[in-house]
Structure 1
């Protein structure tokens, strides 16, 4: 099974942060999770609030654990709030169902997720997709 390597995780983070800087985003926090939802890498830019790890992690964790990106989770929360409430109960409140939680795929399989927070959720997802592509992987936002 393909896994996200340390080098790929670093590339994802570095490129996502550079994308944010190039586009004038607010300071970002980026977490990369493996397929089991375990932290592979994390970085919080200077100026980003200290609580951003939990938000970034929640975006990525929900994506990898449910196999659905943050945008799909948000749509599900809007149409079936009881479902996302139940999911958050199952996962101890660790899911943040908004864009910025992006699935990472290789060979058609989910191998992890990236969670970014700090700017708008759509900008967070944009930075994640740039980082994932730079690592030679496929992102699904």
Structure 2
């Protein structure tokens, strides 16, 4: 089994993202998955949209499954482009707009993914990027065993 993000680490990332969501005054749903796109932890802030529960989880799933931030799938999946229709595959779990990011280890391997939903795409990305930034801080300051198992 490959290394994957721990629950304790997922909570720290969610906390960082939630702080950013509070700063911009937008309740969000924040999800963290393991390297296979399976849910590790998810938080729905008070008053966050119900629909955002599955969208946040699917953004994280998409990033883990395809090793790419979800916003990078928008243009390739437009009509006439090479990935047109991508969002209709994988039982509808693929999301092709921003808010999902893979979490990479020091070697560039996916060990988890982050997904945020609840605002405009730019807001989702901003909040998700706060979680990704916290991941990068933890990689720089903690031992690999402290953040992955």
Q: What TM-score do you get using the length of structure 1 for normalisation? A: 0.86
Give the Cα–Cα distance (whole angstroms) in 1 for the partners of residues 18 and 112 of structure 2. Answer: 19
- CA apart distance, 1:112: 1.4
RMSD: 2.0
Task: For residue 37 of structure 1, report the CA deviation from its aligned partner.
Answer: 0.9
Q: Partners in 1 of 2:37 and 2:126 — Cα distance?
A: 21
Name the larger-Rg structure. Answer: 2
Contact 1:28 1:45 in 2 (8 A): yes
Q: 1:28–1:117: 8 Å Cα contact kept in structure 2? A: yes
Name 1:35's counterpart in structure 2: 35
Match of 2:13 in 1: 12
1:99 equivalent in alignment to 2:82: no
Query: How many angstroms apart in 2 are the aligned matches of 1:87 and 1:131?
Result: 24
Q: CA deviation at 1:133?
A: 2.1
> Where do 5+ consecutive residues of structure 2 fail to align?
141-149
Query: Contact conserved, 1:105 with 1:137, CA < 8 A, in 2?
Result: no
Could you tell me how far apart the structure 1 residues matched to 2:114 and 2:9 are? Answer: 12
Q: What is the aligned length?
A: 136
Is the 2:18–2:127 contact (alpha carbons within 8 Å) kept by the matching residues of 1?
yes
1:53 aligned to 2:53?
yes
Runs of 4 or more above 2 Å deviation: 78-84, 86-89
Structure 2 counterpart SS, 1:75:
coil
Q: CA deviation at 1:132?
A: 2.4
Give the match's secondary structure for 1:77. coil
Consecutive unaligned residues in structure 1, runs of 5 or more: none
Greater per-residue strand proportion: 1
Q: Deviations over 1:17-62 (max 9, x none)?
A: 11111122x2100110101110000010110122211111121111
Which has the larger displacement, 72-81 or 46-55?
72-81
- 1:73 corresponds in structure 2 to 73
Larger mean Cα displacement after TM superposition, 73-82 or 98-107: 73-82
